[in-house]
Chains A and B, each alone.
Chain A
């Protein structure tokens, strides 16, 4: 798929995100918009997956979202990649929906393999799934996305220590470095200091990329794949801008977890061409 095509999908995904969050006046648009290029690149260029969903995921790549609050971007990308019907996006966060506020397995939504939302748990699950793949002699890879505020959770570092010790080298983790969390910038709330150096010191192979440049995302993920199987887990420091693609949502933590009003929605949609048809 050409880069121009991917950019069109990204634009439509951003429309989906703001429309979903606006419709229920709740949800997390900021991080979702910031990670749009990553999700589009991952599902359309990198992951080897089956849309005929099985929980076991044997014989395919797996993706886990640890910072589950950015569910809107995941749901949109899953739907538009064919996991479920696009019209189901209209049920996001509503009663009897399979699209829970934070991703869950109880309603059997295709593409989701573990609940997430309570932060810090996804890396452990991904490492466990990666080790199961090795036991099964399944050469497919496991991917996981975490937030930067989430790096403040202790469990992340338990899993980081474990994965390096056990040479879990079929795993590619990515950290969304948007520098924002609910109470303000990560710098102000709880400084992460030199995060890349910390991961290096824990024994990981550390890469960096601009998460809002889709060509760079693809290039870096391909590079990461080429570095698997070398007795070292891989983590990508992904710099993004929270709210990317909607000018008034960028540059602060304000849009982490609030919904646009009618006027703001119109303003946002005016910046995001409808490329694949709204749900």
Chain B
């Protein structure tokens, strides 16, 4: 197992804030819009340095999406910021018609996604956003895993022409992706080579997958760990090549199992190389108030759950007539 050094702990939303500030300095067309959550989204540095390019929208997310679509007409690159819940489900039809169908160059940037929002509870802990957004034609959907990757992703989506959903979170989590790691939209990142099982992880679950990989290594199980930061378009080649080698897979995400990364992996496998797949995700339920670590444990999203899922999928592979792909 490749050794990953924790370079510190930071929230992924701060990676977004740092990326946006850098974009403000390098790309005059980048504008920011925020629905009364400037501090929470870490957009305050951008607001302070570029007040004429920052638009306070108030608590009116539907309007924010429409404004952003309009600003693209005139060549602006709008980055909208609010919580993931209010960035997607609340404004789905506005996104569908004014952004996706109209193919506008809007970047919908969403913080506080998933259970790790914590104490605010299920009203705010959206676990359906990746599914909602990946269903929309024209959309690119990205869920980075740490501060450095979120910053790199923020810079990358400004150069990509087309609507993007960028999802990040609130808690301080380990930084382990090198600062100079290139971010390529749609290109999975191989974190550890292995032959026994493929673990496809996204967002906060990537670090949990690394921890799980270390535990598995001590038990003689050699896991291939792949970071899928781009949920759509999914990196078909990376998934197929890995599973052809390992013969089984586990998906891991802070999202509903229904409609998330795991479903995308299952589709790639079903079409190309059917193999046993186990899902780590929230199983058709809402979250609740609590400390992020408690919630991840209770809802089955921690490293120990990934270890269990790997053992289960290895047992299925051993019984499968197609084992040894």
Contacts and interface: CB of A to CB of B under 8 A. Distances in A.
A45 interface: no
Interface residues of B, number: 32
A257 interface: no
B66 A155 contact: yes
A265 interface: no
Interface stretch (B16-24, B99-107, B197-205, B317-325): B99-107
A62 B70 CA distance: 11
B60 A57 contact: no
Interface stretch (B49-57, B143-151, B245-253, B284-292): B49-57
A103 to B, nearest CB: 10
Contacts of A138: 74
A116 interface: yes
A106 B102 CA distance: 6
Contact of A158 (B55, B60, B76, B102): B60
Nearest to B101: A115
Given A114-B73, A155-B62, A125 B31 contact: no
B94 A129 contact: no
Contacts of B75: 56, 58, 132, 136
A128 B78 CA distance: 10
A115 B74 contact: no
Interface residues of A, number: 39
B103 A162 contact: no
A110 to B, nearest CB: 14
Contacts of B73: 55-57, 62, 113-114, 125, 128-129, 132
A55 B104 CA distance: 10
A156 to B, nearest CB: 9
Contacts of B74: 56-58, 129, 132-133, 135-136, 138
Of B58, B66, B75, which is in contact with the most chain A CB atoms at under 10 Å from its CB? B66
Contacts of A277: none
A191 interface: no
Contacts of A123: 66
A121 B103 contact: no
A118 B93 contact: yes
B60 A161 contact: yes
Interface in A88-147: 104-106, 113-118, 120-133, 135-136, 138
B215 interface: no
B68 interface: yes
Nearest 10 CB-CB pairs, A to B? A128-B70, A124-B66, A132-B74, A158-B63, A128-B67, A158-B60, A129-B70, A125-B70, A155-B62, A128-B71
Given A158-B58, A166-B55, 15 more contacts: A56-B73, A56-B74, A62-B73, A105-B102, A118-B97, A121-B66, A122-B66, A127-B63, A130-B70, A132-B70, A154-B62, A155-B60, A159-B67, A162-B58, A162-B67
26 contacts: A57-B74, A105-B101, A105-B103, A106-B102, A106-B103, A114-B102, A115-B102, A116-B97, A117-B97, A118-B96, A121-B62, A121-B66, A121-B98, A124-B64, A124-B67, A127-B63, A129-B71, A131-B67, A131-B70, A131-B71, A132-B71, A136-B74, A158-B62, A161-B60, A162-B58, A165-B58
